[in-house]
Amino acid sequence: MKPVRATVKSGECNQGFHKVGDSWTIGNLTPEGMCTSAFDALFPLILTLQCGGKFFWEGNKNVTCASCPDDTGLVFEVRLADE
């Protein structure tokens, strides 16, 4: 599978787990240190990129953003790691 990079772009984690700039490269395993709620929200996007899918509604079809279910809403950028 293609590696994907998830990076916190904005927001504040109400649990104090993550901050803007935190980043993970995701391969075949769940990334160590990423909140499971955030990973669950991002997983469909990660899997899409890993399997060769594209986000046709985005300017760069290999990059998109999504928020975690946290009430203060961290926003993550999800992209192919080699982009």
Q: Model confidence over 37-78: pLDDT tens digits?
A: 999 999 999 999 999 999 999 999 999 999 998 877 899 999
Residues 6+ apart with CB under 8 A from 54: 48, 61, 62
Parent domain of 23:
4-80
Tokens 């990059």, located at residue: 63
Dist CA 75 CA 69 (whole Å): 10
Rounded to two decimals, the pTM is: 0.92
Query: Which pLDDT score is estimated for 82?
Result: 84
* DSSP H/E element including 77: strand 75-80
Query: Which pLDDT score is estimated for 1?
Result: 85
- Lowest mean pLDDT across 2-6, 12-16, 43-47, 64-68: 12-16
Number of domains in the chain: 1
Tokens 């999504």, located at residue: 66
